[in-house]
């Protein structure tokens, strides 16, 4: 059960504001959207998972939440009427004489059970009032913080426009000692009716587990301020150690590193990352000595649960990381088998370790120059110590990224990546990164889906708390066209990587292929909120807007695309849709001139969208012969959807070992 937000006042302030959301597993998106809105109003959210078989602890948590609340708010819809969860929770609240408010979103007739328990409740009709006015009325019904300014987030603000209330005022902060919100199975209706198509938000907030932790980049406290790479490396390696601990949810590096260099309140960071605890620290490296300070903080209370300062020779850095991980496990009272907390040997060669950390740091730029520099550093580390599985795995991953982003010819990049990954696993069969790289190569290059699944299984087994395994599984399901599995897995990945732009981008593609365009748009926009220059995000958003019939907005997004090939592809497509054949031809000609040797897949996309199936199939064959890294998109690619019924396309899928 989530605790209060720590506010306390003797002059009318609110000591605790807690929101409890329960929802059907396929309604994760709207539940997260509602939770985000409430979090922005200073109300703490507690989400009950609907895909967990109810047991004693699960039921106890719900009962406690209802018992401790003053208000029960039901989002009422046709599906809610049929929900056994809603009926039981409503009955519990009524038996405890709780104030009940029904936020009605459609005109479905009530069951006798709901009609009985809602007979004395207050009703707020969203369809009649508009979302903004409905939220204002809800604030009046529950009580508001007199010191708070009215506020409504873009997600719900745009929703008000969608239901005919564009001129309405802002929603007010909803406050109470505790407010329980039950987002029932009918939440999907709310999502489709009110979720905005221009400023939508995407899922990122889920139940915060008491056994969850985010590791923030360690601050550089050296005099020269030249140890940023070392602080990042320390945090990343501790994160990787913790991800191997069964029963511990570890927030993904991509998400936790979003707060690098930001002086944010740790309680806010906990909410943003869905983490009950945060591990932060600092490094000071001088010659062959290093001082590292680490502290574990409870994000609900802000309390420092543990802290320690270590002064060690640089060669003891691995043992130091082990000590910090063990201290975290001890403080969280986790029972862990001995093999998960072994103490590693001293660093054999500090120079090799330094090269690896520097390589990771420059690879983070994800551009051609950064990846090439990283490859050089990892190769130097491997040349200096040919027994370093870590250096071999990092080199493999760098070559994979060079090939995946078309910075290096596919065959050259992926063959080198495959060799280095195999070398890493020969040196250390339990190298998580080695298995991860092989899983990606089997998807992007070998098109061996069974082998990819086996490698992902190894990643999950070796690092059960890692976001990489979940992301990989979601991507594999998407590649195979298993949309519902992909959606479930991607939402699970976002639960431990809520600020991962890449995951949101894939979520958008999954939703688009499922035909859920508002959700698809919201997910891509969320990716751009996290990282405004994220490659291909504007392109995919443009495709979704085009599919939604918003041609002008699509054109604007394509013009913003940062990836050159994505921009050319997008402008060739959208200009054709606008009836500007000459402009479309010109952009297609540029795309062929600049990228035919490595991006045949994108040329096929343009021809497919234009209805030129013969040319599209010709370029797909070229992509196949080039081993184009984008080909594993073939089954869920939006422009290629026009080829779904073409027998030649079905034969092509079969050739790639994909289901038709």
- Using a 10 angstrom Cβ sphere, with 0-12 exposed, 13-18 middle and 19 or more buried, the burial of residue 470 is buried
Tell me, what's the pLDDT at 159?
A: 37
Tell me, what's the pLDDT at 363?
A: 92
Report if residue 413 sits inside a domain: no
CA 548, 549, 552, 554 torsion: positive or negative?
A: positive
Over residues 371-392, the mean pLDDT reads: 96
pLDDT band at 123; cut points 50, 70, 90: confident
Q: Are residues 250 and 153 in the same domain?
A: no
| pLDDT at position 171 over 70 | no
Per mean pLDDT, which range of 85-99, 503-517, 601-615, 642-656 is the poorest?
85-99
- Does the pTM surpass 0.95? The reply is no
Tell me, what's the pLDDT at 31?
A: 61
Structural domain including 290 reads 212-347
Three-state secondary structure call for residue 212: strand
pLDDT band at 21; cut points 50, 70, 90: low
Report if residue 33 sits inside a domain: yes
Q: Are residues 178 and 310 in the same domain?
A: no
Q: Are residues 261 and 295 in the same domain?
A: yes
Over residues 2-31, the mean pLDDT reads: 43
Report if residue 202 sits inside a domain: no
Query: Which of 304, 332, 347 is the last residue before a domain boundary?
Result: 347
User: Domains in the chain: how many in total?
Assistant: 2
Tell me, what's the pLDDT at 481?
A: 92
| pLDDT at position 455 over 60 | yes
Per mean pLDDT, which range of 30-34, 464-468, 479-483, 500-504 is the poorest?
30-34
| pLDDT at position 16 over 90 | no
DSSP annotation string for 339-382: GGGPPPPPPS-HHHHHHHHHHHHHHTT-SHHHHHHHHHHHHHHH
Q: Are residues 179 and 72 in the same domain?
A: yes
pLDDT exceeding 90 applies to what percent of the chain? Answer: 48
Selected residue with higher pLDDT from 249 and 437:
437
Count of alpha carbons within 13 angstroms of residue 308, beta-carbon side: 14
Overall size of the chain counted in residues: 660
Over residues 205-220, the mean pLDDT reads: 80
| Residue 64 structure tokens | 């406690």
Place of tokens 């399901």: 477
Tell me, what's the pLDDT at 319?
A: 85
Q: Which of 21, 17, 20, 2 is nearest to 187 (CA)?
A: 21
Q: Are residues 40 and 168 in the same domain?
A: yes
CATH code assigned at 312: 3.40.50.10610
Q: Are residues 241 and 308 in the same domain?
A: yes
Q: Are residues 261 and 176 in the same domain?
A: no
Selected residue with higher pLDDT from 356 and 93:
356
Report if residue 107 sits inside a domain: yes
For 191-244, where are the E strands, in sequence order? Answer: 212-215, 219-220
Q: What is the DSSP letter of 24?
A: -
CATH code assigned at 190: 3.40.50.10140
Report if residue 280 sits inside a domain: yes
- Alpha carbon dihedral 218, 221, 227, 233, in 10-degree steps, equals -20
Q: Which of 97, 120, 111 is nearest to 186 (CA)?
A: 111
Tell me, what's the pLDDT at 135?
A: 59
Tell me, what's the pLDDT at 79?
A: 66
Q: Which residues of 97-124 are buried (b: 16+ CB within 10 A; e: fewer)?
A: ebbbbbbbbbebebeeebeebbeebbeb
Q: Are residues 159 and 105 in the same domain?
A: yes
Q: Are residues 149 and 221 in the same domain?
A: no
| pLDDT at position 195 over 70 | no
Instruction: Choose from 76-85, 89-98, 484-493 the range with maximum mean pLDDT.
Output: 484-493
| pLDDT at position 339 over 70 | no
Tell me, what's the pLDDT at 660?
A: 78
CA 196, 197, 201, 206 torsion: positive or negative?
A: positive
Tell me, what's the pLDDT at 148?
A: 41
Report if residue 293 sits inside a domain: yes
**Residue 258 falls in which region: left (phi positive, over 0), alpha (psi -120 to 50) or beta:** alpha
Tell me, what's the pLDDT at 571?
A: 98
Contact 396, 371 (CB under 8 A): no
Tell me, what's the pLDDT at 26?
A: 47
| pLDDT at position 40 over 90 | no
Three-state secondary structure call for residue 577: helix
Selected residue with higher pLDDT from 631 and 129:
631
Average of per-residue pLDDT values in the chain: 79
pLDDT band at 129; cut points 50, 70, 90: low
393-430 pLDDT, tens per residue?
999 999 999 999 889 999 999 999 999 999 999 999 99
Tell me, what's the pLDDT at 355?
A: 95
| pLDDT at position 646 over 60 | yes
Q: Which residues, 6+ apart, have CB-to-CB distance to 594 below 8 Å?
A: 564, 565, 568
Tell me, what's the pLDDT at 61?
A: 63
| pLDDT at position 166 over 80 | no
Q: Are residues 162 and 260 in the same domain?
A: no
Q: Are residues 173 and 284 in the same domain?
A: no
Tell me, what's the pLDDT at 57?
A: 47
Per mean pLDDT, which range of 475-479, 532-536, 585-589, 623-627 is the poorest?
532-536
Report if residue 597 sits inside a domain: no
Selected residue with higher pLDDT from 570 and 367:
570
Report if residue 83 sits inside a domain: yes
CA atoms of 164 and 60, how far apart (whole Å): 41
Over residues 481-510, the mean pLDDT reads: 92
| Residue 337 structure tokens | 């088998």
272-284 pLDDT, tens per residue?
898 999 999 999 9
577-634 pLDDT, tens per residue?
999 999 999 999 999 999 999 889 999 999 999 999 999 999 999 999 999 999 999 9
Query: Which of 347, 366, 383 is the last residue before a domain boundary?
Result: 347
Contact 275, 257 (CB under 8 A): no
Query: Which of 194, 227, 252 is the last residue before a domain boundary?
Result: 194
Selected residue with higher pLDDT from 194 and 625:
625
Q: Are residues 252 and 294 in the same domain?
A: yes
Q: Which of 273, 240, 234 is nearest to 255 (CA)?
A: 273
Tell me, what's the pLDDT at 248?
A: 87
């Amino acid at each position: 059960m989530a605790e209060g937000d720590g506010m306390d006042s003797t002059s009318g302030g609110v000591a605790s504001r807690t929101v409890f959301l329960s929802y059907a597993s396929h309604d994760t998106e709207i539940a997260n959207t509602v939770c985000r809105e409430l979090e922005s109003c200073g109300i703490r959210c507690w989400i009950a998972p609907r895909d967990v078989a109810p047991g004693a602890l699960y039921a106890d948590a719900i009962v406690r939440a209802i018992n401790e609340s003053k208000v029960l708010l039901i989002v009422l819809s046709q599906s809610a009427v049929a929900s056994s969860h809603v009926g039981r929770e409503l009955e519990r609240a009524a038996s405890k004489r709780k104030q009940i408010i029904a936020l009605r979103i459609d005109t479905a007739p009530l069951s006798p059970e709901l009609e009985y328990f809602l007979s004395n409740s207050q009703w707020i009709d969203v369809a009649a009032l508009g979302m903004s006015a409905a939220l204002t009325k809800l604030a009046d019904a529950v009580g508001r913080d007199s010191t708070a300014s009215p506020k409504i987030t873009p997600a719900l603000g745009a929703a008000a426009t969608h239901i005919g209330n564009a001129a309405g005022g802002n929603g007010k902060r909803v406050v109470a000692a505790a407010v329980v919100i039950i987002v029932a199975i009918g939440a999907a209706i709310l999502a489709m009716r009110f979720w905005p198509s221009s400023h939508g938000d995407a899922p990122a907030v889920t139940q915060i587990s008491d056994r969850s932790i985010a590791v923030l980049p360690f601050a550089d406290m050296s005099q020269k301020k030249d140890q940023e790479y070392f602080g990042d490396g320390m945090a990343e390696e501790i994160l990787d150690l913790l991800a191997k601990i069964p029963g511990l949810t570890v927030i993904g590096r991509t998400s936790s590193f979003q707060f690098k260099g930001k002086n944010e309140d740790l309680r806010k960071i906990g909410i943003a990352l869905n983490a009950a605890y945060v591990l932060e620290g600092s490094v000071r490296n001088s010659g062959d000595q290093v001082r590292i300070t680490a502290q574990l903080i409870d994000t609900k209370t802000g309390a420092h649960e543990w802290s320690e300062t270590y002064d060690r020779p640089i060669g003891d850095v691995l043992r130091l990381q082990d000590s910090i991980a063990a201290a975290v496990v001890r403080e969280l009272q986790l029972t862990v088998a001995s093999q998960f907390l072994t103490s590693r040997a001293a660093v054999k060669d500090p120079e090799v370790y330094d090269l690896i950390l520097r390589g990771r740091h420059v690879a983070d730029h994800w551009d051609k120059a950064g990846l090439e520099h990283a490859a050089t550093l990892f190769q130097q580390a491997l040349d200096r110590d040919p027994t370093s599985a870590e250096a071999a795995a990092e080199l493999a991953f760098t070559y994979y990224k060079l090939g995946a982003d078309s910075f290096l010819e596919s065959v050259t990049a992926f063959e080198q990546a495959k060799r280095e990954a195999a070398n890493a696993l020969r040196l250390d069969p339990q190298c998580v990164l080695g298995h991860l790289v092989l899983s990606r190569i089997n998807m992007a290059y070998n098109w061996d889906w069974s082998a990819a699944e086996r490698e992902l299984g190894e990643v999950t087994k070796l690092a059960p708390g890692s976001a990489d395994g979940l992301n990989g599984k979601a991507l594999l399901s998407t590649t195979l066209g298993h949309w519902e599995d992909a959606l479930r897995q991607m939402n699970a990945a976002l639960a431990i990587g809520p600020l991962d732009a890449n995951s949101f981008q894939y979520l958008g593609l999954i939703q688009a292929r499922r035909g859920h365009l508002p959700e698809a748009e919201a997910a891509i926009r969320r990716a751009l909120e996290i990282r405004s220059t994220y490659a291909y995000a504007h392109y995919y958003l443009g495709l979704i807007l085009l599919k939604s019939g918003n041609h002008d907005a699509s054109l604007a997004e394509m013009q913003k695309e940062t990836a050159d090939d994505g921009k050319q592809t997008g402008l060739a497509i959208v200009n054709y849709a606008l009836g500007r054949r000459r402009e479309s031809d010109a952009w297609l000609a540029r795309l062929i001139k600049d990228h035919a040797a490595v991006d045949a897949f994108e040329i096929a996309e343009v021809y497919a969208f234009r209805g030129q199936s013969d040319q599209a199939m010709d370029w797909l064959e070229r992509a196949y012969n080039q081993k184009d890294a984008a080909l594993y998109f073939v089954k869920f690619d939006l422009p290629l959807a026009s080829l779904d019924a073409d027998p030649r396309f079905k034969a092509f899928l079969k050739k790639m070992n994909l289901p038709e």
